[in-house]
Structure 1
Amino acid sequence: MRILFSSYHNPSFWTITEYTEKTLMKLGHELIPFDDRAFIIPDRLRRNARFLQNWDLNRLNRRLFSLASATQPDLCLVAGGNRILPETIQKMKSQGIQTALWTIDVPRSFQPVLDAAPSYDFIFCGGTEAQKLLSEAGIPNTHWLPFACDPEVHQPADVDSEDRKKWGSEVSFVGSFYPNRAQVLEKISDFDLKVWGPGWDKLAKNSPIKKLCSDARLKPEEWIKIFSSSLVNIVIHYQDGKTPCFQAAPRVYEGLACRSFLLVDDQRDVKSLFQDGKHLAIFEKPEDLKKKIAYYLNKPEERNRIATQGHEEVVHKHTYVHRLKKMLSVIEAGG
């Protein structure tokens, strides 16, 4: 199948985009990539001038349609969807091109997706919060397609004493700064904790975790060493009190694929896919997190058992090969 894949290539690290492209080619499909953030006007200007934003967005959509017209793919798969206009999808369909949307982002600015969603032939949702919002908007026929891991990339790392000294700690967190994450991590600052990821320079100067943070954009070969060198790895999903977020973030699957012990916040989709105490452990409040960290630090055999079972579960059921095969089988069957 010839597949035109519209998504965003982050220049700093691999995301769902690269793993999806790699998997589609691995499955034998012809890939035609399109970067849906290839704006020519800088973001700081577009943010302050709506006409510039509209001009550049329309230019981007014309480029996507021109590429589709020139290559005539069997399928146009759009990841995210915030920047692809309804008329672009409709014009591709008028040329006999099937179209599919895979929502992947936390729905903080979801209206463009709601506007375009009725135009697609198929809709897949990375989190059930997107299914809920689409259903409330009168778009019920969606498919839940969670994120995944790539075992060829996400796997236990061979770490020596120097690696453990550099990357390891009793407790680690890998991910971007968000206020809700900082609030939780500040409650566990009395543990041997290291925090890694972009944006942590935004912390208040008096934050108890200020000196524990490395403001860094890590490559996979670096953060898998963190997961492989740390005893307890924390996953905290984005929450702002307004935006629904039920999804299991990519880091859940990736951490499990590294055979790491994960302590994950109480997310609906995580609990639908994995068993608490069997594949990972779940915490509800910061006080619960503190208790569970202390408990599991003193239970190495239990940690290792859970990490091993989580690894087996994720590599046998939750890889990008599983996800893309499922997506394409739904499309080939007509929904």
Structure 2
Amino acid sequence: MTLVATEIERPTRSIPEILQKTRVLLVGAFDDGLHAHTALRRRALERLGCRVSSFNLMSDGGWLSRLRRVGLHDRFARAMAQTAPAVVLVMEGSQIGAPLVAALRRLSDAVWVNWFCDGKRAPTSIEPLAAAYDAVFVAGSAAVDRLHAPGLPPARYLPPGCDPSVHRPMRSRDQFRANVVFAGTATPHRERLLSELVEFGLALWGPGWRKTKLRDYCRGELLDHGDYVRAYAGASVAVNVQCSP
């Protein structure tokens, strides 16, 4: 038997070239505070050459939609008809159950992808939604192994990144200066761990902290994304407590 070495055929185009002008409908919660990351992900897709349209799950469609009682299905269907996406990329999308996704998929040949980018989300809460998609991405590598089951699409680990034009060193002053900083939503798990850091000069930013025993260390709840960056930039030590046990 003669073995002949063959060269593996590789794509002739780079990833940006493949994505160039790909129409993407980005579905998620958009605001300038807790959900500012969605807009940053849109910008990242645009930098790769995608033509991105947005569907804001935090919007009810405005007063005219409320007057006409236009529901989520109809607003979503209208957005798909207007944008004709090749890819529908949903960020979490707990409001969009599997039956709604199944109904919307009949409207086009678009590929449906969900990026479960919240590292606190348990695989058991992902499974009922994941089955409706062509592919899913998760923020934790441990979740990938638990999502390999019959009837579920391929699951891939996709960690968060940063935008150097936004997440950059800067000088912080006044209330943004602190020895130890945590910015994020209050949870019992985080409260328990962070209470051990009080003596080191703890400063907390994010919703819910003023309803906990650490309320005196909360310097602000509803911040825009720039203030979150300033809070961490002004810290001597920045702490991240990502997942609950």
Per the normalisation by structure 1, the TM-score is: 0.57
Q: Name stretches of at least 5 consecutive residues in structure 1 with no aligned partner.
A: 41-55, 242-335
Further displaced range: 81-90 or 149-158: 81-90
Contact 1:172 1:232 in 2 (8 A): yes
Aligned amino acid, residue 20 of structure 1:
R
- Determine the structure 1 residue equivalent to 2:227: 222
Deviation at 1:127, TM superposition (A): 2.1
Q: Distance in 1 between matches of 2:97 and 2:163?
A: 30
- Determine the structure 1 residue equivalent to 2:81: 69
Q: Secondary structure at the match of 1:187?
A: helix
Matched, 1:203 2:212: yes
Q: Secondary structure at the match of 1:190?
A: helix
Contact 1:198 1:217 in 2 (8 A): yes
Deviation at 1:70, TM superposition (A): 3.3
- Determine the structure 2 residue equivalent to 1:84: 96
Deviation at 1:133, TM superposition (A): 4.0
Aligned amino acid, residue 171 of structure 2:
D
Q: Do the aligned partners of residues 171 and 210 (structure 1) sit closer, same or farther apart at CA in structure 2, a change above 3 Å counting?
A: same
- Determine the structure 2 residue equivalent to 1:33: 54
Q: Do the aligned partners of residues 210 and 90 (structure 1) sit closer, same or farther apart at CA in structure 2, a change above 3 Å counting?
A: closer
Q: How does 1:147-296 map to 2 (within 5 A)?
A: 147-159=160-172, 163=173, 165-204=174-213, 209-239=214-244, 241=245
Q: Secondary structure at the match of 2:147?
A: helix
C-alpha root-mean-square deviation of aligned residues, in Å?
A: 2.7
Deviation at 1:223, TM superposition (A): 2.9
Q: 1:104 aligned to 97, 117, 121, which one?
A: 117
Q: Name stretches of at least 5 consecutive residues in structure 2 with no aligned partner.
A: 1-21, 62-68
Q: Distance in 1 between matches of 2:190 and 2:181?
A: 13
Which of the pair is proportionally richer in helix? 1
- Determine the structure 2 residue equivalent to 1:127: 140
Q: Deviations over 1:108-162 (max 9, x none)?
A: 5954x42342332222212234424422565262111111111110000034xxx
Q: Secondary structure at the match of 1:148?
A: coil
Structure 1: 4+ residue segments shifted above 6 A: none
Q: Deviations over 1:194-239 (max 9, x none)?
A: 22222111113xxxx4422224222233233332222111111241
- Determine the structure 2 residue equivalent to 1:118: 131
Per the normalisation by structure 2, the TM-score is: 0.76
Q: Do the aligned partners of residues 125 and 13 (structure 1) sit closer, same or farther apart at CA in structure 2, a change above 3 Å counting?
A: closer
Q: What percentage of aligned pairs have identical amino acids?
A: 24
Q: Distance in 2 between matches of 1:84 and 1:129?
A: 24
Aligned amino acid, residue 218 of structure 2:
C
- How many corresponding residue pairs? 215
- Determine the structure 2 residue equivalent to 1:59: 71
